[in-house]
Amino acid sequence: MLGKLLVGVVLSVVFLSLIFFLLRSPQREGPWLVMQERLPKVTVNQNTVTIENIRDFRYQKNGDVERVQYLTKQYSPDSLQRVWYGLSHFGDHGLAHAFLSFEFSEGEYLVASIEARLKPGQQYHPIKGLFRVYNRMMVLGTEHDIIGLRTHFRKERVLLYPLKLSPEQAHDLWSNILMDTQSIFDTPDFYNTALDNCITGILQYTSQWERFFNRFDYRVLLPGYSDELAYKYQYIDGDGSLPELRLTAQIRDIKTIPLDGSFSARVRAGWQ
Full DSSP string of 120-147: TT----TTGGGTT-SEEEEEEE-HHHHH
Instruction: Compute mean pLDDT per 10 residues along the chain, 272 residues long, and list them.
Output: 53 44 69 97 94 98 95 96 96 90 95 95 90 95 97 96 94 93 96 78 64 70 90 93 97 90 94 90
Hey, where are the domains in the chain?
A: 34-271
Q: Which residues pair with 86 in a beta bridge?
A: 99, 160
- The predicted pLDDT at position 193 comes to 83
Half-sphere exposure of 259 (CA within 13 A, CB side): 18
- The predicted pLDDT at position 9 comes to 45
Cβ contact 52:39 at 8 Å: no
Residues in the chain, overall count? 272
- The predicted pLDDT at position 231 comes to 93
- The predicted pLDDT at position 5 comes to 58
